[in-house]
Structure 1
Amino acid sequence: MPHNAVSPSSPATRTGATRSTTFDWLDEQHRLRREAGLVRTLRPRPEPGAGEPAVLDLAGNDYLGLSRHPEVTRAAADAAHRWGAGSTGSRLVSGSTALHTRLEEALAEFCGFEAALVFSSGYAANLAAVTALAPPPELSGARGLLVSDEGNHASLIDGCRLARAGRAVVPHADPEAAGKALAAHPGRGLVVTDSVFSVDGDAAPLAALARQCRRHGAGLLVDDAHGLGVLGDGGRGAVHAAGLAGAPDVVSTVTLSKSLGAQGGVVLGPARVIAHLVSSARTFIFDTGLAPAAAAAALAALEVLRREPGRAARVRAVAGDLHARLTGAGLTAVRPDAAVVSVRAPSPRAAVRWQADCRAAGIEVGCFRPPSVPDGVSRLRLTARADLTDAQVERAAGTVVGTAAAEGFLNSRRAPG
């Protein structure tokens, strides 16, 4: 049967419908992706203890190893029993609980901000912050300008696209370029950046960006998803480490799904910013609120981090150890500023094979290919965790290096990348 034919058992055939040509263009798109080695597939994780061989996970973002911490999972289970499986509605209708309020207060205090607002995901939080804080022409007197780093996460990019403001995409981690973009625009400005970039794991020059913003009367919005729990005093994040937490012209977003091992997103900033989001952010007003179980899990994880601040330093140490082992063996890897260790691959197809080789050897790593990488260079992406032992770090690095050698990446005249 041709790959694009309707199966005899398909719903269309069973209901007597004829095959439509409306989506035939999708077949060509799939062919092009397949030829370029860019087809994505879902690989469900097996149920723990289901007889599958143990795989060491260096692909997920559970930086502090808290997603299975007994206090965290118990808090989630208790909240589900007490509040139900879901939040039942948007935060402004029935989706706010006492847990949400406690989490917002705890995160604001921990990260050093005046107020916080919890969303159903980090993506939703970023869309809200960017679109709601880009001043529209009728309020600002001139069209606002969003200045976005070219390496920003997709959620920030999408927020800039949706906002009613001008956009300037500037070179990666370049405060001078951001300042020039602001100087060339007469309206209000907002500089938008990740604190730690998810592809290479390098940190943004936040202090220098803040100086440029203040020179031109602009605001600074920082996505600190990869900084919370890893950088700053006791894991308080990159914004806190840069001395910008609580500043009246700085807003930060964080995710609850990385260091805190749960799910959801948060915007932190001045109280008037948070009040504005409650009344204007579409992903807050029209989205179902975060499930109580996730809010309780994040709150419990935050308490563990308060009690065990050394977890943040351990993540950084593991990342540095992985980098040293990989580069010492001849691989090209970006020096990590937080938990992400990025290793360059020769091509998209090579990256997929390399990832599969690592998985077969018992190590799960991430694989970043276009269009997920802004520079078009495919990578393996390893994430450090505070709960990895030295022996596990050695095993992981040895597996990545060994599989690279088996594929010929170490001996090839064409260096990875």
Structure 2
Amino acid sequence: MSTTLSERLTQELNSLREGGLLIHPRVLERANRARTRVDGREVVNLASNNYLGFADHPALKAKAESYLREWGVGAGAVRTIAGTLSIHEALERQIADFKHTGSALVLHSGFTTNQGVLGALLREGDLVVSDELNHASIIDGLRLTKATKKVFKHADVDDLDRVLSENDSEGLKLVVTDGVFSMDGDVAPLDRLVAVARKHGAVTYVDDAHGSGVMGAQGRGTVHHFGFEYADDVIQVGTLSKAWGGVGGYAAGHGDLRQLLINRARPYLFSTAQAPATVGALSAALEEVQRDPGLMERLWDNTRYFKAELHTLGFDTMGSVTPITPVVFGEAPAAFEASRRLFGEGVFAVGLGFPTVPRGSARIRNIVTSEHTKDDLDHALQAYAKVGRALGIIGG
């Protein structure tokens, strides 16, 4: 007898429950800011990707409202039929100018951008070499291609050189890496990775979801941070939902990349275009980050302070060098319990366990933003000290 839907759902949920991995997302009752209200409690918010405070920024809201009134609530079609508005193309020119690339295209999310770009570029007979800790969207995007897939050890330039030496291809060769790794907060050594890729005639593909708006001059990203401007053999992709405060994804690079994606990227071809209000907000975000250098200055000042104080308390932050600051608790139940206790102290910080992160390295991932005040961070640090000592993670 075949398994019923009810049986399958029960089996899967019980398995998650027994492993301490069943997730019940908390619900925000106000805008996603440094201080907000979650499940009825006023909290310091360390769980958001809202690096620059753009999710509820007045300039973004004003331009979103302006575009909404002029262009309506929706684009009305996919981009290739009747959904390309002049504001879409203006935003894409803005992104290309900002990123210092030959072209750019906006898609519907960072996740679907990886599916669309990798699917459009890679063919059977091509070779792709991917960092072992790359984001799930890269892994899923590569699964949809017929390219030969190899993995190199995390951020290990020598291992990348070895894999490329042992696996040649007459087709396209692509080295794929995150710019900033979302769970550990470390930065890919792009200066050395690109050099090895070029040695083997490979193109470098960088998912800069957590680097855009955070790394490089005026937040231009990890690629810009390492000096690879106007480089036709470096492709940049990412999301517009983190530092930029909205939703969507982008691909930027070679002058002809945009045209290929318009014709071949399936998420672009088969999804309705972005809503005008979203386009307006994203355009304003790009303007604002260049207008106000204090946004990034505050982000990095807060990051340095928070990390230093966590280290003084004795927490392991895994060597993170970006605003992503993991605090290690070991196994998932411990991280989830720490998250629950922190919430009780007025700090919203989410525990992450397997399969999001490897077994034995469950953690709470904190993201400091430009909006946090010193009082916000001190409140969070006091809560961490109390919870860490109660759970035996730190001494004292």
Cα distance between partner residues in 2 of 1:105 and 1:362: 43
Match of 2:310 in 1: 326
Cα distance between partner residues in 1 of 2:366 and 2:337: 16
Cα distance between partner residues in 1 of 2:359 and 2:333: 16
Match of 2:115 in 1: 127
SS of 2:116 mapped into structure 1? helix
Shift of 1:81: 2.4
Match of 1:43 in 2: 26
Cα distance between partner residues in 2 of 1:268 and 1:68: 26
SS of 1:213 mapped into structure 2? helix
Is it true that 1:166 corresponds to 2:148 in the alignment?
yes
Shift of 1:356: 1.2
Cα distance between partner residues in 1 of 2:280 and 2:65: 9
Residue 153 of structure 2 aligns with an amino acid whose one-letter code is P
Structure 1: stretches of 5+ with no match in the other structure: 1-19, 138-142, 413-417
Would you say the 8 A contact 2:336–2:350 is kept in 1? no
Match of 2:138 in 1: 156
Cα distance between partner residues in 2 of 1:177 and 1:253: 24
Is it true that 1:363 corresponds to 2:347 in the alignment?
yes
| 1:168-214 alpha-carbon deviations (Å, 9 max, x no partner) | 12111112212221222221310111000000100000011101110
Structure 2: stretches of 5+ with no match in the other structure: none
Match of 1:194 in 2: 178
Q: So what's the TM-score if we normalise by structure 1? A: 0.89
Is it true that 1:66 corresponds to 2:49 in the alignment?
no
Q: So what's the TM-score if we normalise by structure 2? A: 0.93
Match of 2:8 in 1: 25
Shift of 1:41: 1.7
Runs of 4+ in 1 over 4 A off after TM superposition: 48-51
Shift of 1:411: 4.1
2:254 to 249, 267, 270: 270
Higher-Rg member (1/2)? 1
Is it true that 1:147 corresponds to 2:153 in the alignment?
no
Is it true that 1:257 corresponds to 2:241 in the alignment?
yes
Moved more, 263-272 or 371-380: 371-380
| 1:345-401 alpha-carbon deviations (Å, 9 max, x no partner) | 131011111111111211111321110114651110000101111121111122122
Match of 1:184 in 2: 166
Would you say the 8 A contact 1:355–1:366 is kept in 2? yes
SS of 2:336 mapped into structure 1? helix
Shift of 1:47: 3.8
Cα distance between partner residues in 1 of 2:324 and 2:330: 19
Cα distance between partner residues in 2 of 1:85 and 1:63: 27
Is it true that 1:338 corresponds to 2:326 in the alignment?
no
Is it true that 1:84 corresponds to 2:72 in the alignment?
yes
Moved more, 311-320 or 257-266: 311-320
SS of 2:55 mapped into structure 1? coil
Would you say the 8 A contact 2:240–2:250 is kept in 1? yes
Quote the RMSD (CA, aligned, Å).
1.9
Shift of 1:78: 2.2
Residue 178 of structure 2 aligns with an amino acid whose one-letter code is D
Moved more, 89-98 or 50-59: 50-59
| 1:218-263 alpha-carbon deviations (Å, 9 max, x no partner) | 1100011111111111211110011113201110012111111111
Over 3 Å counting, the alpha-carbon distance change for 1:402 and 1:34 in structure 2 is same
Residue 289 of structure 1 aligns with an amino acid whose one-letter code is A
Shift of 1:325: 0.9
Cα distance between partner residues in 2 of 1:323 and 1:63: 16
Residue 286 of structure 1 aligns with an amino acid whose one-letter code is F
Query: Percent identity of the aligned residues?
Result: 35
Q: How many residues align?
A: 388
Shift of 1:108: 0.9
Would you say the 8 A contact 1:118–1:267 is kept in 2? yes
1:103 to 91, 111, 131: 91
Residue 42 of structure 1 aligns with an amino acid whose one-letter code is P
Would you say the 8 A contact 2:330–2:360 is kept in 1? no
2:373 to 389, 395, 402: 389
Match of 1:400 in 2: 384
Over 3 Å counting, the alpha-carbon distance change for 1:22 and 1:65 in structure 2 is closer
Would you say the 8 A contact 2:119–2:265 is kept in 1? yes
Match of 1:312 in 2: 296
Would you say the 8 A contact 1:99–1:295 is kept in 2? yes
